[in-house]
Structure formats: C-alpha cells, structure tokens
Structure 1
Amino acid sequence: MTTYGRAVPWQPDDDLYPEADGLVDHARFRDVLGRFASGITVVTATHDGVPVGLTCQSFTSVSLDPPLVLFCPSRASRAWPLIERAGRFCVNVLAADQADVSHAMASRGIDKFAQVGWRPSAESGSPVLDGVLAHLECTLEAVHDGGDHHVVLGRVQHLQVDREGDALLYFKGDYTATGQSNV
C-alpha cells in the first residue's frame, strides 16, 4: 500500500461482521451495483512529457475543506502507475456525446491520445480532453489499498466548467445520458 497521507485502517468487530470473503458472488455483486448510475471520467497526466490516461467510473467528491476528490483505478491499469509517478493529474468529466472518448481511453496497446483531441491544462500540463463538461486539476494526496483497485485521493488545485450539457453515465453495463436511455 502506498500512502501519502495518514491512513487509519478500519477493524471490524468479528462478532458483528463475520468474514464475508467468498460469500458474495462476483456476477451478482456486479449486477446489483450496476443499478447505480455513475458518471464517466478520464483521469490524465503527463509522465516524462508523454500524455497518459485512463477511463474511470469510480469518481466522487470527498471534502470541501480541503477540496478533495476520490477515484479508484484498477490494479491492472497500465496508466495508473505513470499517473501516480507524475504526482499530479486531471479529472475530465465526459459529456453524453463522448462514449467514443471513454472507449479510446480505456483501450490497451494503442496511442490513446492520437484519437482524442486535447490541450495541456493551465496548472499542471495534464491533458484536458476536448469537449468535456468540466475538469479538475489535482495533486496526489493519498493512495490506499482497495482490493483489486486503488483508492486515490486528490487535492483539487484548479477546476473549471468547460461547457454545458448532459453527462455520460454508466448504468446496467451500458452508457447512457442524463434523461436518456442509451447513447
């Protein structure tokens, strides 16, 4: 576990919370949690002058004071270790018409940024993707163990609304948009 901030591990009361590992079927877990719509973001950074990025649906605000956000990259991500080393990143909030951007940034083995327009952000130089609803520039605050994912806290240094529109959402295993059934 990499920790940049203070981490206090939670210890359950064994009498109240018996060990649950193996008791929850993975397919059912995915199906049930798929009933919760989540916004789609792309987390980007520049590592050694090269843009890197990953698609992420696990993103949320955490705190106003200090301004903190959280996202959860997969342990299998090839981009995350490079973003972590950069120590700074940009969260791009995708618009409803950007499912193709989400797919491109989730791909492996291709130059993701050859398919996606972007510009360097004002504060960190991290890529801000063309057409996003908003972006938040962050410094890495903490990284915690989250099973098959990392739990990453970022301190917001700059944020901006880039355009109006509906957000790209993920619901029941498919993309959707606010107020629409499928994109």
Structure 2
Amino acid sequence: MIRNDSIEIAMDVRLRRAFSTFPTGVVAVCALDSDGVTPIGMAVNSFTSISLEPALVAISVANTSRTWPGLSRSASLGLSVLGSGHEQVSRSLSARDGDRFGALSWAAEEGGAIHLDGAALWLSCHLEQTIEAGDHTIVILAIDDLTHFDDVEPLVFHQSRYRSISA
C-alpha cells in the first residue's frame, strides 16, 4: 500500500493515542557527564524489567535524543523510578533546553550514577546491550545495585497525563 504524508501523520497520531492507553511509570536516567562534575539525564516512560538472572532492565530511547549519547558513555547509570510528587521533575528532565537539574535534589555515586531524592526505586546499572528498533534504540541495562522505598507511590503516565495510583 502506498501512503502519502497526510496518511503517515494520521497513523502517527493514532499510534500515539493507542500507545497512551497503557499506563507506565516514569524513570529518570541520570549520570555525571564525562567531566565527572556535570549531571546529565532524561526522563523515560519506556522502562521494563527483563530478567531476574541475570538482573536486567530495559529502556527505549529515541534515536534523535541529544542526551543519550552522553549517558551511553557513562560507566554507571542511575535510574530513579519517580514518585507521585515528581511531575515537575519529569518535566524538567524532559526539557530540550535549560538547566534540567537546577531545582532537583540528587546525589551521585562514586561510579557516576545519579539518583533523585523522593524516588520509589533507585537502580545503579551499566550498559549491557543496545538494539536498534525503528526510530528508537532499546537499551538493555545490567543492575549492579538497588534501593527501593516502600512508602513512595510511583508517578504514572497515562493518556498523555501524569497520574498517581490510588486504592
């Protein structure tokens, strides 16, 4: 079937709407830049557990990301599953310009992984494998360490809006 641009755009809108029906968590992927001082990071909502043995998770990163190339060079990546009060944190880490970390409370590990205060879960990971998949790259990460916070409810992204889990 031949498609023109208007049909492609319509399909893109339909796919975005369809994919938004699946609620996801929001995860900050952060590390110190190669200078060992400057924090770099981004928010992703394409995060999933992959394996218990070995301990693996995956994220999906747009091939157009300007942040991922810097993160991919880091020896250790910090993943923070954002808490229900982190909507502004997610927006800050998703911004294309400006100081993404200016208003954030965070700490760096010795290996360079950065974790955000108030998160539901911290994972320290290293890059295991990447797989090109369409306009994104699937990033498989090996878990080196974790800390979870049972009292923190996660931030949820559903139908293009931030939400909280309620009983």
Q: What's the TM-score, normalizing by structure 1? A: 0.81
1:159 aligns with 2:157: no
Pairing partner for 1:43 from 29, 36, 46: 29
Aligned to 1:144: 131
SS in 1 for 2:92: helix
Aligned to 1:114: 102
Contact in 1 for aligned 2:60/2:136 (Cα 8 Å)? yes
Q: Percent identity?
A: 30
Contact in 1 for aligned 2:76/2:112 (Cα 8 Å)? no
User: Unaligned stretches of 5+ in structure 1?
Assistant: 1-17
Residue 163 of structure 1: how far off its partner (Å): 5.2
Aligned to 2:69: 81
RMSD: 1.7
Residue 111 of structure 1: how far off its partner (Å): 1.4
1:28 aligns with 2:35: no
User: Unaligned stretches of 5+ in structure 2?
Assistant: 2-7
Give 4+ residue runs of structure 1 displaced > 2 Å after superposition.
none
SS in 1 for 2:107: strand
- 1:122-154 deviation line (CA, Å, top 9, x unaligned): x62311111111110001000110211110000
| Distance in 2 (alpha carbons) for counterparts of 1:73 and 1:162 | 26
Q: What's the TM-score, normalizing by structure 2? A: 0.88
What count of residue pairs does the alignment treat as equivalent? Answer: 158
SS in 1 for 2:73: helix
Contact in 2 for aligned 1:88/1:137 (Cα 8 Å)? yes
Contact in 2 for aligned 1:124/1:137 (Cα 8 Å)? no
Q: State the AA in 2 paired with 1:31.
A: R
Q: State the AA in 2 paired with 1:37.
A: P
Q: State the AA in 1 paired with 2:23.
A: A
| Distance in 2 (alpha carbons) for counterparts of 1:153 and 1:63 | 10
